[in-house]
Amino acid sequence: MNVRRGFSLVELLVVILLGTLLLVSTYQVLITNRRVFTIQNSKVATQQSTRAAMDVLFTELREVSSAGGDVVSMSSSSLSVRAMREIGVVCDAMNGTHASTPQLLVRTLIDVFEAQDSVYVFADNDEFVTTDDDWIRAYISANDTTLSCPDGSPAQRMTFSGQSGAFSADSVSTGAPIRSFEHMTYSLDTYSSETYLGRSVAGGAWVPLVGPLTGQTGRPGLEFAFIDDAGSTTAVPAEVRQIDVTLRSWAQARGYDGALVVDSLSSSIFMRN
């Protein structure tokens, strides 16, 4: 006759202990994996914020010319510049720009200029002398995009009504560059309870671009330093030849050492002069 026996109390306790150890081990692995994921995700997010913000500033500021008056105002936390938009080359000075209504025939290189665009036109009386070079500031009062340059390439005729005085001091020659611009101010501000890099156009509303960017106590998320020809810091816009930019970001997550996850990125932008 077969006798069926159940588990003894000791065997049950051993099974329960082993099962508990297995559950605890599995839980610890899950907690560790979640922590690793949180830390890595926070690191990626902070790095993406700083690098995307640097790309925005680098792309915009490398086209700025302090010698041409593009730096409007500056501080350690804010920078206002005349940002280049369209660029073209004069293929026919037409009436020499000294007439009562100056006109230029321009081959565009990036995009079509629009009527009422603010522009700078390079002027040079003597191509062998640099001291007489100048940028004439004007605005396009009328624009005809149906014309061609003497070589047959598409061109637009720009008219500068009522601005003969601006063109009378210097000569615009064939081959002279012309560019349009917008006033841009870059700074940090709050968006959805976070600090973002943003910009405002011509004193308009601030618009967020990239973020969040937040430095820890005493260390701002955005910091500018302005360097002159001698390598010294300067507060004079016309003397700026290099802009040092530092961006910082941090997350609430903590790394393996218990410190907050942080990221910073610094770059030197050499301006077009």
Residues 135 and 165 in one domain: yes
pLDDT tens-digit profile, the chain (273 residues): 555 666 677 777 777 888 888 888 777 777 766 766 666 666 677 777 888 888 989 988 888 888 778 899 999 999 999 888 888 999 988 655 566 888 899 998 878 898 888 888 888 766 666 666 778 888 899 999 889 998 888 999 999 998 888 887 667 888 888 988 888 999 999 988 888 999 998 878 999 998 888 877 667 889 999 999 999 999 999 899 999 999 988 766 565 555 666 778 899 999 876
The strand order across the sheet containing 222-227 reads: 222-227, 242-254, 260-270
Residues 222 and 210 in one domain: yes
pLDDT value of residue 108? 84
Any domain includes 27: no
Residues 205 and 250 in one domain: yes
Residues 234 and 255 in one domain: yes
Residues 91 and 70 in one domain: no
- Which residue, of 131, 157, 181, is where some domain finishes? 181
- Which residue, of 154, 181, 208, is where some domain finishes? 181
pLDDT value of residue 33? 67
- Residues contacting 74, CB < 8 A, separation 6+: 80, 224, 226, 235, 237, 240
Q: How far is CA 34 from CA 20, 28, 31, 37, 46, in A?
A: 21, 10, 5, 5, 18
Whether a cis peptide bond, with omega within 30° of 0, leads into 220 is no
Q: Is residue 131 classed as helix, strand or coil in its secondary structure?
A: coil
Residues 101 and 141 in one domain: yes
- The token duo for 244 is 């040092």
> What is the domain extent for residue 216?
45-80+183-270
195: β partners: 190
Find, among 117, 143, 106, the residue nearest to 202 by Cα: 117
Residues 98 and 134 in one domain: yes
What is the tally of structural domains in the chain? Answer: 2
Any domain includes 203: yes
Encoded amino acid at 244, one letter = D
CATH number for the domain spanning 92: value is 2.40.30
Q: How many residues does the chain have?
A: 273
Any domain includes 34: no
Strand residue runs (E) in 93-219: 103-108, 118-123, 134-139, 142-148, 154-159, 177-191, 194-201, 207-210
Q: How far is CA 195 from CA 146, 190, 204, 226, in A?
A: 46, 5, 19, 23
Whether the full predicted model's pTM is greater than 0.85, yes or no, is: no
Any domain includes 140: yes
Any domain includes 14: no
- Which residue, of 131, 165, 181, is where some domain finishes? 181
Any domain includes 144: yes
- The token duo for 17 is 């202990």
223: part of which helix (H) or strand (E)?
strand 222-227
Any domain includes 162: yes
Residues 56 and 109 in one domain: no
pLDDT value of residue 48? 79
CB 188 within 8 A of CB 77: yes
Residues 109 and 164 in one domain: yes
Residues 68 and 92 in one domain: no
Any domain includes 99: yes
Residues 177 and 86 in one domain: yes
Residues 90 and 177 in one domain: yes
Instruction: Give the pairing of strands 177-191 and 154-159.
Output: unpaired
